[in-house]
Amino acid sequence: MQLHRQSLTAYAAPLCETVAECPRPTGSEVLVRISRCGVCHSDLHMQDGYFSLGDDKQLDVRAGRTLPFTLGHEIAGTIESAGPDAPGATPGSSVAVYPWIGCGQCPACRVGEENICTAPRHLGITVDGGFASHVLVPHPRYLLDYAPLPAAYAGALMCSGLTAYAALKRLSERAKRAPLLLIGLGGVGLMGLALARAMYGSAPYVADIDASKREAALAAGAQAAFDPADAGARKALLKASGGIYAACDFVGSDKSLNFATGVLAKGGKVVVTGLLGGAYSTAVAMFPLKAMSIEGTTTGTLAETRELLDLVRTKNIAPPPIVERPLASAQATLDDLRAGRIIGRVVLTV
Ligand SMILES: [Zn+2]
Ligand SMILES: [Zn+2]
């Protein structure tokens, strides 16, 4: 059986099709035939080989990956075959794949936080992922039943949905006091908007520099939308909200974080999930004077993924706008994402 992939064969170069022999699952491994794989902003950083840290500094992320490499971590598909020690892996079952797989040994993994493992086996990041016909998963416990959701939605929940959910959970105490602020209404932000309404029952404020994304957020039930590039936005939001207690920065740039911290009430907290890049500085005294918290998160745990799937199913949370494109358009989709031409989520069909 052949494995077809849209491969990263060199950094900062376009993906191209490669064909290899399909791996055979051994031990507890499961081979999943992919039907859908979402395209995520972090795929761009992996393709570049670095994250921008601001001030012309870069974080090199090329280590620990051999080329050709398969990007893609928002995977759904069906079980093709399984090794002899893969309990419950029934061929033909539809599954979403939890991609944030850890070593199982380190202090983070031991408490279930495989997403922040020190020696990760994250699919599409350090181990071959989902822009392909098949993916090899080390154990069936990472395979999640997603019925009755559509496969494209289930895939997108594994990263953008999970990231938004885990960030929102970290704001739960403050989100009960007053409406949240969500900054950056791309795939993660729009998912965050839907989840926030279901989790906390109030309509969040949103901010995005892109008018079409603000409109999409308002159509999806945001309370009010602000353009952070507008000089009056900070004051207008402070006036409307009386100060924000809980903000999610889904952009992760100097501008977005400055905007978030600039509208906080005393005791306010910002959770940063975005990775756009930039450097943030502030007077240290602002932390105690404003009783301010800034916390970072990256994706979420396997347990949180199960909670998220349950939440989406029980509260009937509609997916963000999803556009399906064939696997061969992986590179065109990355180009569109880089140019900011995508609203919602693009999911590749295999
Ligand atoms: Zn992602
Ligand atoms: Zn680990």
- pLDDT over threshold 90, residue 175: yes
CB 45 within 8 A of CB 34: no
Quick one: DSSP state of residue 133?
S
CB 226 within 8 A of CB 237: yes
Q: How far is the CA of 3 from the centre of ligand 1 (A)?
A: 22
The ligand placed nearest to the CA atom of residue 104 is 2
pTM of the predicted protein model: 0.93
The ligand placed nearest to the CA atom of residue 109 is 2
Q: How far is the CA of 130 from the centre of ligand 2 (A)?
A: 22
Q: How far is the CA of 295 from the centre of ligand 2 (A)?
A: 21
- pLDDT over threshold 80, residue 343: no
The ligand placed nearest to the CA atom of residue 275 is 1
28-37, 223-232, 270-279: least confidently modelled range: 270-279
CA distance 343 to 321: 7
**pLDDT, average across residues 214-240:** 96
The ligand placed nearest to the CA atom of residue 337 is 1
- pLDDT over threshold 80, residue 19: yes
* Average confidence score pLDDT of the chain: 95
**pLDDT, average across residues 208-236:** 96
The ligand placed nearest to the CA atom of residue 120 is 2
CA distance 221 to 215: 10
pLDDT given for residue 143 in this prediction: 98
pLDDT given for residue 52 in this prediction: 78
CB 122 within 8 A of CB 101: yes
Q: How far is the CA of 119 from the centre of ligand 2 (A)?
A: 5
How deeply is 257 buried, as exposed, middle or buried, from its count of CB atoms within 10 A (0-12, 13-18, 19+)?
A: buried
The ligand placed nearest to the CA atom of residue 41 is 1
Q: How far is the CA of 246 from the centre of ligand 1 (A)?
A: 23
Give the residue with greater pLDDT, 343 vs 339: 339
- 241 — pLDDT class (breaks 50, 70, 90): very high
pLDDT given for residue 58 in this prediction: 87
Q: How far is the CA of 242 from the centre of ligand 1 (A)?
A: 33
- 135 — pLDDT class (breaks 50, 70, 90): very high
Residue 340 neighbours by CB distance under 10 Å: 12
pLDDT given for residue 149 in this prediction: 97
The ligand placed nearest to the CA atom of residue 99 is 1
pLDDT given for residue 276 in this prediction: 84
- pLDDT over threshold 80, residue 160: yes
Residues 62-100 pLDDT 10s: 988 899 999 999 999 999 999 999 989 999 999 999 999
Q: How far is the CA of 96 from the centre of ligand 2 (A)?
A: 21
- 46 — pLDDT class (breaks 50, 70, 90): very high
